[in-house]
Amino acid sequence: MAMMRGQVPSFTMMGSLRASSPTQKFSGSFQPAKKTRKEKPRSILRSRLEEGEDYLIDAPVSIGDGFSFTGAGKYSEGPNPADEWFKKGKMVSAHLVSGAREKATDPIFGLTLGSGSQLSDNVFRWFCIETGVSSGSSVIFVHGLPSQAYSFRKVLPVLSEDCNCIAFDWLGFGFSDKPQPKYGFDYTLNEYVSSLESLINELGVNEFSLVVQGFFAPIAVRYAKSHQDKLKNIILINPPLTDKHAKLPSTLSVFSNFLLGEIFSQDPLRASDKVLTSCGPYMMKEENAMVYRRPYLTSGSSGFALNAITKAMNKELRSFTEEMRNTLSSESWKVPTTICWGMRDRWLEYDGVEEFCRRTNISLVQLPMAGHHAQEDIGEELGGILKGIIRKRR
């Protein structure tokens, strides 16, 4: 995805925060992988691997599972951007599998799914990207719906200059495990809260800033409510904040429909390109689209997971959104909080956001040129804004 060419996006800040050089451009490529130990301090994940802990596991082979309405596999035998992205990360085991250990079947025909949709262990596998300096402040990035850690690819290099940055794929997304509902993970919002806690505990990060985008914000805030002692900051990017936000947009809610949702969720173009380009002003480059489509091309489980999480969101989002508002408004909430809002969001209205921030004394950053997935629109500029917030509140 790429923002429209032209003037560098600007931003307006409300509250006590002020950013220097708001139109500053950031450069540099994201290269977290093969450097010598002398060239770069060991990361948390790499350190544990070198110390012999049973912490990281081999990456899964990227093959089709034999069930997909649109076919399974790669675009071609040549290099794929998704493969290059995968090489930069590691698989982390966290959160115990629950329920019976039977072979997963698809919810339509009852056919047994291939190896790409079956769990291979009693602990889920999460795809994590880590970059930066281990001695710096830790920042954990939480992607939105439906997206991947890949969405932060332009933000990570900016903060990694002096922070230890970790981004991950939620269960059901990207390269992380995608269990069938009723086969170890049902995709309820409560399960996402407990799984987030398990992952953060496994990462071994004691103090960190949390950056959360979109509809997973209420899940992250519920986690944060019980772990305020660990958090230095929480930064929410276009979260569902008002009553009007507590309903999925039609391009997402369609995946929760009976039968039709199961079918549509198996279409890589509908499940990735169409959704991600419907919520903001940007256009998707083919090289980025290939990364977002890849999970849906290689396994039918990606679509069934999307179907399950949208059903859960339709059922539970309103109560979680109300709880998030109450938490952020409570006198017991002590975590420094900032809301960054892409003003060109086509899914969530801005109406009511400014008033809520003023009433709760939460800092508000307006992003005039960004949509719902602001990290896609103005990734480098957003990285600079986040860096300023985190530096100010160390």
Query: Cα 381–387–388 angle (5° rounding)?
Result: 95
Q: Where are the beta strands (DSSP E) in 242-330?
A: none
Query: In the prediction, which pLDDT does 37 show?
Result: 41
Query: In the prediction, which pLDDT does 175 show?
Result: 95
How many other C-beta atoms lie within 10 A of the C-beta of residue 293?
A: 21
Torsions phi, psi of 357, nearest 5?
-65, -40
Query: In the prediction, which pLDDT does 101 show?
Result: 67
Q: List the domain range (segments joined by +) for residue 216.
A: 12-16+42-392
> In this structure, is residue 226 part of a structural domain?
yes
* 3-state helix/strand/coil string of 105-128: ECCCCCCECCHHHCCCCCEEEEEE
The contacts of residue 59 (CB under 8 Å, 6+ apart) are 86, 90, 91, 175
What domain count does the chain have? 1
CATH (domain of 357)? 3.40.50.1820
> In this structure, is residue 31 part of a structural domain?
no
> In this structure, is residue 37 part of a structural domain?
no
The contacts of residue 144 (CB under 8 Å, 6+ apart) are 151, 213, 214, 215, 216, 237, 238, 372, 373
Whole-angstrom distance, CA of residue 189 vs CA of residue 199: 15
CA proximity to 138, closest of 233, 30, 224: 233
Look up residue 5 and give its two tokens: 């060419």
Query: In the prediction, which pLDDT does 77 show?
Result: 53
> In this structure, is residue 97 part of a structural domain?
yes
Query: In the prediction, which pLDDT does 179 show?
Result: 87
Q: Where are the beta strands (DSSP E) in 184-277?
A: 208-213, 231-237
> In this structure, is residue 278 part of a structural domain?
yes
Within a 13 Å sphere around the CA of 339, how many CA atoms are in the beta-carbon half? 28
> In this structure, is residue 35 part of a structural domain?
no
> In this structure, is residue 7 part of a structural domain?
no
DSSP state of 283: B
Whole-angstrom distance, CA of residue 185 vs CA of residue 249: 24
Inter-residue contact 117 to 180 (CB < 8 Å):
yes
The contacts of residue 161 (CB under 8 Å, 6+ apart) are 132, 387
Work out the end-to-end distance of the chain between its first and last CA atoms, rounded to an integer number of angstroms.
32
10 Å CB burial of residue 134 (0-12, 13-18, 19+) is middle
Inter-residue contact 333 to 107 (CB < 8 Å):
no
pTM, rounded to two decimals: 0.81
> In this structure, is residue 205 part of a structural domain?
yes
Query: In the prediction, which pLDDT does 365 show?
Result: 98
pLDDT in tens, the chain (394 residues): 444 433 434 444 444 333 333 333 333 333 444 444 444 444 444 444 344 333 333 333 333 333 333 333 444 456 789 999 999 999 999 999 887 667 777 766 777 776 666 676 789 999 999 999 888 899 999 999 999 999 999 999 999 999 999 999 999 999 999 988 888 899 999 999 999 999 999 999 989 999 999 999 999 999 999 999 999 999 999 999 999 999 999 999 999 998 888 889 989 989 998 899 999 887 888 899 999 999 999 888 899 899 999 999 999 999 999 999 999 999 999 999 999 999 999 999 999 999 999 999 999 999 999 999 999 999 999 999 999 999 886 6
